[in-house]
Amino acid sequence: MANAAWVFPGQGSQAIGMGADLATVPLAQSRFAEAESVLGWSVLDVVQDAGDKVSSTLYTQPCLYVVESILADVLKENGHSPAVVAGHSLGEYVALYAAGVFDFAAGLSLVQRRAELMSQASDGMMAALLGFDADELTAKLEATPGVVLANDNNPGQVVISGTPEAVTAVMEGIKAKRAVKLNVSGAFHSPLMADAAATFEAVLEPVLFATAQVPVLSNVDPAPATDGAVLKQRLVQQMTGSVRWREITLALPGLGIDTVIEVGPGNVLTGLTKRTCRELTLVNVGNLEQTATLAS
């Protein structure tokens, strides 16, 4: 699939048991062992915990990174490669790994620290809005201090983030088919994450970002880029910036992409893409069987 984009989902796509079927693959066994040496705990133990430990932010982000990275590695081992990559929020780290910007352990160390900082963010609130008037929402956001557009997912689905009072005011102040408060610890992708972002920037600073082997479409800037310094700066901005997923999706046909492969558990990004660019062929690769059945 020479004209395929690989996209990687973020927090919210995790599921109990995800990636456990990969444990029979030698490549995956090596990665799981390497991850345990970095994290100090077993990804396989966490994803198979019946109490849904994997849905705690502290564990969710590293587990998603490890499982999605292994799936990407298995696809490459089977002879597949992407033309471009992108990831939704946490998924951007996997996209950068898949593009060769940093190695597996370096990326996992970043993700672990990111998860720690985000799990400690107790201020703020996020909510998903579905079925709304875009102009009405834009006007309400502009008129309401303390709330921003966090995820511009597709024309009919967004996430807002900010202070509880401001988010509630927007939820109650516009007409929407659904408005749902999200079960997260803080106001991710908003200015309320500024302190965490400043701390994380210092963590990012010494990490070498190599030139990407394929173009990366970043959350805060969907223009394709390969320069390591540019990609690092975009990642610095990601924690407080909006996830511009709708624009990423709309950019794909213009880059010659005809197929989008969602590499990771679930089908969240597939659903978002379907509503934005109907002409794209959509494929899910979330388990070992699907890596083997992907057409050449």
In terms of Cα–Cα distance, which of 110, 97, 108, 106 is closest to 36? 108
Instruction: Count how many residues are written for the chain.
Output: 296
**283: its two tokens:** 């494929």
Of 69, 89, 119, 242, the catalytic one is 89
Is-contact 123 165, C-beta < 8 A?
Answer: no
Q: In what order do the strands lie in the sheet with 216-217?
A: 216-217, 84-87, 4-8, 259-263, 281-285
Q: Is 80 a catalytic residue?
A: no
Same domain membership, residue 212 and residue 168: no
Read off the CATH number of the domain in which 134 is found. 3.30.70.250
Same domain membership, residue 101 and residue 199: yes
Of 69, 189, 218, 242, the catalytic one is 189
| Phi, psi at 94, each rounded to 5° | -70, -40
**What's the average model confidence in pLDDT over 172-191?**
92
Residues 6+ apart with CB under 8 A from 228: 101, 208, 209, 210, 211, 212
Same domain membership, residue 167 and residue 31: no
Same domain membership, residue 116 and residue 215: yes
**What's the average model confidence in pLDDT over 232-243?**
96
Average pLDDT taken over every residue of the chain = 95
Chosen domain end from 181, 200, 229: 181
Is-contact 137 129, C-beta < 8 A?
Answer: yes
> What is the bridge-based pairing of β-strands 259-263 and 4-8?
parallel
Q: What is the pLDDT of residues 1-42, one digit of tens each?
A: 569 999 999 998 999 999 999 999 999 999 999 999 999 999
In terms of Cα–Cα distance, which of 253, 292, 236, 268 is closest to 87? 268
Range of the structural domain that residue 103 is part of: 4-120+190-293
**What's the average model confidence in pLDDT over 154-167?**
96
The pLDDT-based confidence of 183 (bands split at 50, 70, 90) is confident
Tally of domains in the chain: 2
